[in-house]
């Protein structure tokens, strides 16, 4: 495969390329809350929470190969930990994040023990049960004093009070945060702190990304992929399967709780009826991850952006008037926005065209433009005779998978 430009790994050109990519991401993240409309900022916040959850799911499903349809329960755990601690115990919302992580981590580890003995469809069923039980557990009368039962913890006097985030608060009032006339957090005095929520969601997304990146690129991360690719071989390398799965489940669950906490803070209320706390949430995370590209760091990010874009754009399409002319015959059959339906079709098509998701497509075609050549291995030892004659040469060409 020919490529326009070839760059050596670790060379100056490679670093320039990386910095450029990072600069584009930072520019987009800064542009949205400062120049974007309130609607865009809200959508971006939504995308950031969904991508955090999908990234967390990616660790266990994409990297470790363990199916989980129960991540909405971990997400909900985060939302409720924050909701309960802030409304009932008057904690600062900031402090609830580590608690939410730890609590979900423990739940994740507990789930991993039965999970380490079962595989595939059976594991899917067990985690599915977790997702289905969770909203009912919240409604359970004996827990009502804590969870608020069916109505949950409403937005009101005793509700989650986002003024708990009082950066530079004076006289009990929130003050706007400004740098040279730029207020990235928006108007913090009113309830219109939309960019503020955006920044919380963005911060969590960055943390989740960095943790997962750190895990995946480490020795532990290699052992996760080893377990996914060949469990037997991993075990005879000395990888403790039970401990590895428990670790992956725990981290994945803990990270998934963080965007849950963000949701609780953003909505100022939690209830078992929030869609992402039910099985729908699990499926949304799953679809986002698969469309973006399972087992890749950028997959969930791209998947979430696309998901929110499509569902937003088609949000009004239940009404004939809102549907663009050409598409009118195809949509508007029911009074439900067709966003998830469209996404289902994208999913089916992608499974045939690009089973590795959008990132897989990128990895396949980007080398035609820019190819990064890996560093040569170690020091060449030409002097030493090789034990093996060089005849095992019937491998497939580079970059081509079987």
Partner 1 sequence: MSLLSVSHLKAGYGPINVLHDVELTVEAGEIVVMLGANGAGKTTTMRAISGMIGRSGEVHFEGADIARATPDAIVRAGIAQVPQGRGTFPELNVEDNLRCGAYIRSDKEIDADIDRWFDVFPRLRERRAQRAGSLSGGEQQMLAIARALMARPKLLLCDEPSLGLAPLITQELFAVIERLNREMGLSVLLVEQNANLAMHMAHRVYLIETGRIVASGSAAELSADDSIRKAYLGF
**Residues in touch with partner 1 (CB under 8 A):** 219, 222-223, 225-226, 228-230, 232-241, 295, 374-375, 377-379, 381, 384, 386-396, 398-402
Q: What 8-state DSSP symbol labels residue 377?
A: P
Closer Cβ to partner 1, 25 or 373, answer by number? 373
Q: Min. distance of Cβ 10 from partner 1 in angstroms?
A: 12
Q: Which is nearer to partner 1, 334 or 395 (CB)?
A: 395
Q: Would you state the torsion angle of the CA atoms of residues 281, 286, 289, 294, taken in this order, to the nearest 10 degrees?
A: 150
CA atoms within 13 A on the CB side of 393: 4
* Shortest Å distance, C-beta 19 to partner 1: 22
Cα distance between residue 184 and residue 199, in whole Å: 8
As measured in angstroms, the least distance from the Cβ of 299 to partner 1 is: 14
Minimum CB distance to partner 1 smaller for 325 or for 374: 374
- Measured from the CB atom, the residue of 212 and 234 that comes closer to partner 1 is 234
Min separation Cβ 237 and partner 1, Å: 5
The tally of CA atoms less than 13 A away on the side-chain side of residue 326 is: 0
Q: Classify the phi-psi angles of 180: left when phi > 0, otherwise alpha if psi is within -120 to 50, otherwise beta.
A: left
Strand, coil or helix: 272 = coil
To partner 1, the closest distance from the beta carbon of 363 in angstroms equals 11
3-state SS assignment for residue 5: strand
DSSP H helical ranges for 63-118: 71-89, 93-115
Q: Return the number of the residue (62 or 303) whose C-beta is nearest partner 1.
A: 62
83 to 18, 149, 201, 259: CA distances (angstroms) = 39, 13, 16, 13
CB of 295 to partner 1, least distance (A): 7
Q: Locate 129 and state its tokens.
A: 């049960």
Of 256, 212, 250, the closest CA to residue 72 belongs to 256
CB of 288 to partner 1, least distance (A): 21
Q: To the nearest whole angstrom, how small is the minimum distance from the Cβ of residue 291 to partner 1?
A: 19
Nearer to partner 1, 369 or 388 (CB): 388
**Measured distance CA(343)–CA(313) in Å, rounded:** 12
Q: Which is nearer to partner 1, 207 or 235 (CB)?
A: 235
Spatial CA neighbour of 158 closest among 139, 169, 145: 145
Smallest separation, CB 226 to partner 1 (Å): 5
Nearer to partner 1, 78 or 360 (CB): 360
Give the HSE-up count for residue 93: Cα atoms under 13 Å, Cβ half-sphere: 26
Distance, in Å, from the CA atom of 253 to the CA atom of 238, rounded to the nearest integer, reads 25
**What six digits make up the tokens of 106?**
């423990």
Question: In this complex, which beta carbon is closest to partner 1, that of residue 235 or of residue 322?
Answer: 235
Q: Which run of H or of E encompasses 327?
A: none
Q: Give whichever of 179 and 388 is closer to partner 1, judged by the CB atom.
A: 388
Cβ(337)–Cβ(322) below 8 Å: no
- Number of C-beta neighbours around residue 266 at 10 A: 23
């Amino acid at each position: 495969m020919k490529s326009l430009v070839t760059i050596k790994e670790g060379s100056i050109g490679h670093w320039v390329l990386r910095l450029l990519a990072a600069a584009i991401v930072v520019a987009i993240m800064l542009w949205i809350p400062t120049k974007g409309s309130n609607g865009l900022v809200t959508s971006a916040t939504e995308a950031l929470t969904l991508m955090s959850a999908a990234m967390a799911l990616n660790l266990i499903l994409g990297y470790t190969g363990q199916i989980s349809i129960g991540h909405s329960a971990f997400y909900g755990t985060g939302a409720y930990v924050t909701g309960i601690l802030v409304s009932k115990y008057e904690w600062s919302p900031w402090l609830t994040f580590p608690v939410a992580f730890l609590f979900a981590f423990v739940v994740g580890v507990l789930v991993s023990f039965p999970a380490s003995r079962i595989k595939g469809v059976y594991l899917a069923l067990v985690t599915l049960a977790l997702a289905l039980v969770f909203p009912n557990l919240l409604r359970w009368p004996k827990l009502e004093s804590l969870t608020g039962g069916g109505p949950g913890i409403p937005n009101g006097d005793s509700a989650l009070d986002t003024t708990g985030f009082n950066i530079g608060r004076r006289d009990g009032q929130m003050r706007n945060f400004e740098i040279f006339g730029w207020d990235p957090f928006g108007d913090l005095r009113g309830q219109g702190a939309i960019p503020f929520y955006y920044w919380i969601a963005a911060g969590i997304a960055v943390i989740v990304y960095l943790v997962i990146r750190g895990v995946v690129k480490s020795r532990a991360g290699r052992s996760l992929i080893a377990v996914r690719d060949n469990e037997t071989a991993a075990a005879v390398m000395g990888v403790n399967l039970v401990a590895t799965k428990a670790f992956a489940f725990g981290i994945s669950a803990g990270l998934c709780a963080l965007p849950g906490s963000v949701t609780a803070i953003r909505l100022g209320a939690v209830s078992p009826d929030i869609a992402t706390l039910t099985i729908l949430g699990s499926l949304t995370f799953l679809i986002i991850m698969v469309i973006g590209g399972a087992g890749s760091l950028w997959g969930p990010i791209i998947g979430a952006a696309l998901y929110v874009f499509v569902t937003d754009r088609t949000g009004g399409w239940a009404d004939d008037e809102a549907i663009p002319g050409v598409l009118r015959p195809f949509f508007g059959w029911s009074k439900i926005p067709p966003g998830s339906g469209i996404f289902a079709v994208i999913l089916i098509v992608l499974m045939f065209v690009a089973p590795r998701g959008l990132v897989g497509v990128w990895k396949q075609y980007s080398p035609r433009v820019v190819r990064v050549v890996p560093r040569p291995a170690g020091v060449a030892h030409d002097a030493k005779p090789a034990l093996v004659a060089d005849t095992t040469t019937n491998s497939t060409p580079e970059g081509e998978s079987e």
